[in-house]
Amino acid sequence: METQKIRKVVIAGGGTAGWITAAALSRLLGPLLEVTLVESDDIGTVGVGEATIPTHRTFHHLMGIDERDFMRATKATFKLGIAFENWGGVGDRYIHSFGQVGKPSWMGEFYHIWMRARERGIGEHLDAYCLELQAAEAERFYTSEKSGLNFAYHLDASLYARFLRSFSEKKGVKRVEGLIEQVEQDGETGFLTALKLKSGERIEGDFFIDCTGFRGLLIEQTLKTGYEDWTNWLPTDSALAVQTKSVGPAIPYTRAIAHHAGWQWRIPLQHRVGNGLVFCSENMTPDEAHAYLMSHVEGEALTEPRLIRYKTGRRKKVWNRNCVALGLSSGFVEPLESTSIHLIQVGATRLVQQFPFAGVTEAQANHYNAQADRELEKIRDFIVLHYKLTERDDSDFWRARRDMEIPESLAQRIALFRDGGLVYQASDDLFRVDSWLQVMMGQRLAPARYHHMGHLMTDEQLKTALGGLQAGIARAVSQMPSHQEFIDRYCAAPETV
């Protein structure tokens, strides 16, 4: 057997990306690798990504992380979805939940039956047939080994990085404090060989992971990988983030509230609320954004609003030579659907699956890059969908979003649903049929036709099926405690008990 060539892994940068990667490598490949993470307390992290999606639970299962321990340590709450306000039009509201809408069959999705029923004057709004959505609206929550709820978390990103640091160091990860002053390369291959710190210390490695944030110290500043700009589809380029005191019980969903030049988030944690304003600098100045945000938060501000500048897009390669970029160094798609932490986790676990123990090959790097590209493109399309389907005509920003050209891949999806009621999830799609359906219907994209599977049922059968489903969901929700009550008894952080 070939001698292992790659053993020393060096992670440049900490924060959420660095410590997720360190946790994955040390937990899953521990005895095979020597993992060193270099970070500096003098360099701040963006750290505003406080909402997750249900894949987070899968990652924690792989890590063997106890849910209650994690939630107490990060002052987390539960998340059943996202409420979108003012997106289709001013005054509109819908929830993109993590749940399944109705009960599909092999022939087709539930909503085809529902559309037939509505034609016949039978049934309620589509929302009535989704357990997670109804629980979110009622602000109720319950989970156990037998619970069928599909959920994610709201968490404190800084506390999460600290939690994973402790986890990783117990698994053997070595942390080095210091500022990276120089990245050394092999003169012939261009492969990275060492990080030289301001202190003079050299950290040698066989394989490097860039978690240095937007600056991309390894992947871009050193390897000159290049960047693919997506601002023509996603033109927001700035965000202000501020934390406020809670003014009421924590709700089990994120709020995404559109304004005239972007949108605002509200994320409830156990000890505070995370707030932010995403905006396009062509339509709103930072001073205007500051004033707008502070006039649209609830509760006393705990921090000063912090401005973050970004450019939506991706590196042309996330794996270049012996370096993989994860987190913000790999690219950025705005946080509208809370995918940032997921992309770090899936990038790290994919690296575990494809780790180049015997040495880097071009074919392997190309394969990793192709997978990352396809997944990110699908996520990009899903986020662009929210903007394209607007009917708002009240500002230059929204008129431009409504009228913009969109990727052909997204145009095809919209046409399939608009013309024939077809929604699908491809093998490399992160978002399920129910997610696409809830956003498209929530922003009033109604199909002109649908599958006639519902025509096989009599009116009485339709009434029985829909009525039974709705009653079962209503009964299940009524038996749940409030979200805040469940948090208090299940996973309350010590300071918030």
Q: How far apart are CA 88 and CA 7, in angstroms?
A: 51
| Contacts of the segment 286-289: beta carbons below 8 A, 24+ positions apart | 286/238, 286/240, 289/238, 289/240, 289/261
CA separation, residue 336 to residues 142, 339, 340, 350, 479 (Å): 26, 8, 10, 24, 31
Q: How does DSSP classify residue 481?
A: P
Which letter does DSSP use for residue 299 in this model?
A: S
To 10 degrees, the CA torsion angle through 393, 395, 397, 398? -20
Residues linked to residue 374 through DSSP beta bridges, in sequence order: none
- Any residues with CB less than 8 A from the CB of 97 and at least 6 apart, and which? 80, 81, 130, 132, 133, 136, 253, 434, 438
CB 430 within 8 A of CB 379: yes
Which residues have a catalytic role annotated? 79
What is the DSSP-derived secondary structure letter of residue 321? T
What residues contact residue 458 under an 8 Å CB cut-off, 6+ apart?
none
Structure-block tokens of residue 132:
């997670």
Q: Which of these, 169, 164, 172, 167, lies nearest to 34 by C-alpha position? A: 172
Asked if 132 and 141 count as a contact pair (C-beta separation under 8 A), the reply is no
Phi, psi (degrees; rounded to nearest 5) at 259:
-130, -175
In a 13 Å sphere around the CA of 151, the CA atoms on its Cβ side amount to 25
Total residues belonging to the chain: 497
Task: Collect contacts of 126-129 with beta carbons under 8 A, ≥24 apart.
Answer: 126/101, 126/441, 127/94, 127/95, 128/470, 128/473, 129/101, 129/102, 129/466, 129/469, 129/470, 129/473
CA distance 262 to 7: 45
